[in-house]
Amino acid sequence: MTPTPQHQRLIKGLCEHARHFYTRGWMPGTSGNLSVKLSQRPLTIAITPTGVDKGALTPKDILTIGANGRILKGRRGLRPSMETTIHQAIYEEFPACGAVFHVHTIHATLIATHFLKAGFVTISGLEMLKGFQTFAPGAAPQIPVFPNMDNLDEFAQNVRRHAARLRKVPGFLIAHHGMTAWGRDVQDAEKHLELLEFLCRYLWEIKRWDSPVPALLL
């Protein structure tokens, strides 16, 4: 598959975001995975490889994956992220989505682990919620919290089952793991990651202070 100039720009931007998140400490070691959509029909995505330092990625390291999971383009010896099926499920459930980012931030991991049993975190009253541009004033959105799973096909099906809830909140938390967010393009996906991490950090600080905040931590 020969990349078009537009695809080349998308892939270059993917590498730039990987380096950016690595320097922020959001993709330590070789963790995390990022993707962009190259085509909806048939679904074709470009995704970061597994086991590679995300702070040193180049466009040659990015793999192109078809709808059936087949590698259409990629450097020999590299394998796509093990979470590719999750990315594909998100693109299929939300056709307007153009980028999916999964990172390992501290506060998202802490909050996800703490609220795993509840299955979601309810947040209200924070100005930062306006950044999602999907909530009416006074809304109390629920951020889904999923358990970490070794069976990633099952995880992808879990995402599909919760698609209705995820139309309002373009992201979810994963206990003991991190968070995933998406958007119409890489800038939008990055914004949603930042919003989710801010909310998680805020809630964790409130919890750490042991303040009575039933309206914030339900």
**Measured distance CA(70)–CA(72) in Å, rounded:** 6
Residue 197, phi then psi, degrees to nearest 5: -65, -40
Pairing state between β 171-174 and 142-146:
parallel
**Up-side HSE of residue 148: CA atoms within 13 Å toward CB?**
10
Looking at per-residue pLDDT, the higher value among 153 and 69 belongs to 153
Asked whether the predicted pLDDT for residue 26 surpasses 70, the reply is yes
pTM of the model: 0.91
Domain ranges of the chain: 5-209
Whether 188 has a pLDDT exceeding 60, the answer reads: yes
DSSP state of 183: E
CB-based burial label for 19 (10 Å; 0-12, 13-18, 19+): middle
Query: Domain spanning 5-209: which superfamily?
Result: Class II aldolase/adducin N-terminal domain (3.40.225.10)
What integer is the mean pLDDT of 122-136?
A: 81
By the 8 A CB rule, do 44 and 65 touch? yes
> Phi and psi dihedrals of 76, rounded to 5?
-60, 135
Residue-wise pLDDT for 60-86, tens only, equals 999 999 988 889 998 888 999 999 999
